[in-house]
Amino acid sequence: MSTLSEAYRDLPHHPRHVIPLDFDSVRTLPDSHVWPPTSHAFESEDRLSIPTVDLTDPDAGKLIGHACEAWGAFQVTNHDIPLDLFHEVESEARRLFSLPTGQKLKALRSPGGATGYGLARISPFFNKYMWHEGFTIMGSSIDHARDLWPNDYQRFCDVMEDYQKKLKELARTLMHLVLKSLDISEEEISRVVSAGGDSTALQLNSYPLCPDPNRAMGLAPHTDTSLVTILHQSTVNGLQIFKEGVGWVLVSPTNGSLVVNVGDLLHILSNAKFPSVLHRVVMKDQNQQRLSLAYFYCLPSDFHISPLALSSTQMPLYRSVSVRDYIGIKAKNLEKALSLIRI
Ligand SMILES: C=C1C[C@]23C[C@@]1(O)CC[C@H]2[C@@]12CCC[C@@](C)(C(=O)O1)[C@H]2[C@@H]3C(=O)O
Ligand SMILES: O=C(O)CCC(=O)C(=O)O
Ligand SMILES: [Fe+2]
């Protein structure tokens, strides 16, 4: 099978778009990291937020379908992932990001690589840097973990493996419900869901304490490339999603619940019925480090993706494209990628 990491291998980045700042040594926000003010977002007091779906609700599938159509995102509760596991993964992520910069650079994502420590892949599209550092895992994290902690890497690997295993199960359950709500046949559902199995990535995100948070940007607006992304946020606010006709809406962390984002691949499969959601992370008033864990459920790079479940009167809006080609188009065109494969 053609792995996801292989799809990123031929898309090298210049080191200035991979190497994060030495955050510990900076006392004032460098001009390279100053962003124009961000627009006001609707806060939770405005009572406008993405829907929450209880996975044990017999109507969960229908509710998820509505949420994907109206918002491109929802929160999920009663997902069966133990709270302790989030704490363990977060604590290992904290251990990683609190290493001295020189040590973290030993696990730097290589120019043609997909995994390891570094800036977000969307970095080259912006003329300012984000206040962000990330660590990408695809499958085993042992090679990078050994570079970081030559004598003490096993715990990190075990915790990350356990998390990926549990998140894969949850992603499969969610994908079943999502595709069923689109009226896709059981056969097609199994074809998509079983193909996704090994094409996943876990991204640990850190937004360090910032000397001037109101002028910095955590993660610039983007959509994810995945089918779905399952996100766990630490207790610190920052994530906002964009809703057409409304603007930026804050998604506050709620204990134990997970945010699910529709990604570009599901946008294509659903013929734009479930639009991939534009989101960003702002640093506004942030007075402590923020962490998040993003699990991307994708498809193998040789999978050919095209709109499914079209009625006899519907026309496909997107041409068939391999995941590898779509990732390549996105790496060059970012937010224009979907329009470039539109029929
Ligand atoms: C599978 C992946 C999705 C991702 C690129 C990656 O190879 C691993 C990192 C992911 C991430 C996380 C931050 C935002 C994002 C746009 C980026 O720059 O790297 C996503 C990528 C994506 O969804 O395209
Ligand atoms: O940190 C967050 O809340 C969002 C992270 C994100 O959007 C991503 O990793 O793609
Ligand atoms: Fe994202």
Distance in angstroms (rounded) separating the CA atoms of residues 81 and 199: 21
**Cα 223 to middle of ligand 3, angstroms:** 6
Neighbours of 235 (CB within 10 A): 12
Q: Which of 109, 121, 215, 290 is catalytic?
A: 290
Of 239, 242, 280, 330, the one to substitute when testing ligand 2's pocket (max ligand atoms within 8 A of C-beta) is 239
> Would you state the pLDDT for residue 17?
87
- Nearest ligand to the CA of 259 is 2
Strands (E) in the chain, as ranges, are 52-54, 73-77, 116-118, 133-137, 200-207, 217-222, 228-233, 239-243, 247-250, 258-262, 279-282, 290-297, 304-305, 321-322
Residue 119, CA distances (Å) to 39, 239, 257 in order: 24, 18, 27
Query: pLDDT digits over 186-224, tens only?
Result: 999 999 999 987 899 999 999 999 999 999 999 999 999
Residue of the CA atom closest to atom 1 of ligand 2: 292
Place of tokens 């001009």: 31
CA dihedral 24, 290, 99, 156 (to 10 degrees): -170
Q: Is 290 known to be catalytic?
A: yes
**Cα 2 to middle of ligand 2, angstroms:** 25
> Would you state the pLDDT for residue 311?
83
**Strands 73-77, 52-54: pairing kind:** parallel
Q: What is the DSSP string of 106-129?
A: GGBPPTT-SSEEES-TTGGG-SS-
User: Rg of the chain's alpha carbons, rounded to an integer?
Assistant: 19
Query: pLDDT digits over 35-44, tens only?
Result: 998 876 666 5
> Would you state the pLDDT for residue 309?
74
Query: pLDDT digits over 96-120, tens only?
Result: 999 999 999 999 999 888 999 999 9
**Strands 116-118, 133-137: pairing kind:** antiparallel
**Number of the ligand 1 atom closest to the C-alpha atom of 229:** 23
Q: If we measure between CA atoms, which residue out of 275, 224, 232, 309 comes closest to residue 68?
A: 275
pLDDT above 90 as % of the chain: 84
**Number of the ligand 2 atom closest to the C-alpha atom of 239:** 3
> Is the CB of 136 inside a 6 Å radius of any atom of ligand 1?
yes
* Residue 236 tokens, joined: 């610190």
pLDDT above 70 as % of the chain: 97
Exposure of 247 in the CB half-sphere (CA atoms within 13 A): 7
